[in-house]
Amino acid sequence: NAGVTQTPKFQVLKTGQSMTLQCAQDMNHNSMYWYRQDPGMGLRLIYYSASEGTTDKGEVPNGYNVSRLNKREFSLRLESAAPSQTSVYFCASSPSPGQGGETQYFGPGTRLLVL
Amino acid sequence: GNSVTQMEGPVTLSEEAFLTINCTYTATGYPSLFWYVQYPGEGLQLLLKATKADDKGSNKGFEATYRKETTSFHLEKGSVQVSDSAVYFCALDSNNNDMRFGAGTRLTVKP
């Protein structure tokens, strides 16, 4: 049981390049999330998917797109990377959509550096 | 909007010292409150949670009580160990898939 997995673990991009961060969970969870973690700011929600086939914007969606490929997989795409997107990206999942008090389960993170 | 403010670090303690990390929140309605912990090089994992006022969450010797009157959810542990060294995040969830996290508090425990 791997939980939440993310690839790659580390990536360096040049400004303007594109890339997709992959996330998969094997817990049969309905909801999945993408966060970014920046020093002194905690985690901020980029996008989430409450269930397969739906996606919604979070607090900081600009510059990103997402795809809920199936119930297991939720990818985050940067179409034209900018230095401001240098961050650590975490994917998370939870069992049910919109149920307050549910635990979120996090992947190990992807460290992205945009030059 | 909803937000969480937590004690800024870093916090450095000696082993067996008492730990308090303060957390206050602003939210409409009745959010659920969480403490997550992040060990070096890893993702966040749930430490404890409370879903209604006056509930106490506890795990691994850590405790926090949901105080609606003071909008607080302070984390405490009576005797910290070196293995407790990590970053601790307070968070709230207002039942709408919008978890808000505090900035995190780095704890270092020295032998």
Which pLDDT score, from 0 to 100, does residue A99 have? 65
Smallest Cα distance from B61 to chain A, Å: 19
pLDDT of residue A41: 84
- Tell me the pLDDT of chain B averaged across its residues: 93
Name chain B contacts of A56, Cβ cutoff 8 Å.
Answer: 97
Q: What is the pLDDT of residue A101?
A: 77
With a cut of 90, say whether residue B17 has pLDDT above it.
Answer: yes
Q: Which of A42, A48, A97 faces B104 most closely, judged by CB atoms?
A: A42
> Residue A24: helix, strand or coil by DSSP?
strand
Residue to test with chain B: of A43, A45, A91, A93, most B Cβ within 10 A? A43
pLDDT digits (tens, 9 = 90+) for B34-88: 999 999 888 999 999 999 999 999 999 999 999 999 999 999 999 999 999 999 9
Sequence-distant (≥ 6) Cβ neighbours of residue B54 within 8 angstroms = B65, B66, B67, B68
Contact B41 A108 (CB under 8 A): yes
pLDDT at B28 over 90: no
Predicted pLDDT of residue B1: 81
What residues of B are in contact with residue A34 (Cβ under 8 Å)?
A: none
Instruction: Please determine, for residue B98, whether its predicted confidence score (pLDDT) is greater than 90.
Output: no
Contact B99 A100 (CB under 8 A): no
Count CB neighbours of B3 within 10 A.
Answer: 12
State which residue of chain A sits closest to B31, comparing Cα positions: A100
In whole angstroms, what is the distance from residue B70 CA to residue B72 CA? 5
- CA torsion B72→B78→B80→B85, rounded to 10°? -10
Going by C-alpha positions, the residue among A71, A92, A82, A69 that lies closest to residue A4 is: A92
Give the residue from B47, B95, B99, B101 with the most A CB atoms within 10 Å of its CB, the best one to mutate.
Answer: B99
Which of A46-50, B13-17, B96-100 has the least mean pLDDT? B96-100
Instruction: Read off the pLDDT of each residue in B2-14 and give the average, rounded to a whole number.
Output: 92
Q: Which parts of chain A register pLDDT below 70?
A: 1, 97-100
Taking the C-alpha atoms of residue A109 and residue B13, their distance in angstroms, rounded to an integer, is 28
The residue of chain A nearest to residue B7, with distances taken between CA atoms, is: A40
pLDDT at A98: 61
Helix, strand or coil, per DSSP, at residue A96 = coil
Q: Which two tokens stand for residue A47?
A: 């996008």
Q: Which two tokens stand for residue A3?
A: 């939980």
- Strand partners for B88: B37, B105
Query: Which residue, chain included where needed, has tokens 């105080």?
Result: B67
Do residue B101 and residue A44 have CB atoms under 8 angstroms apart? yes
Q: What is the pLDDT of residue A24?
A: 97
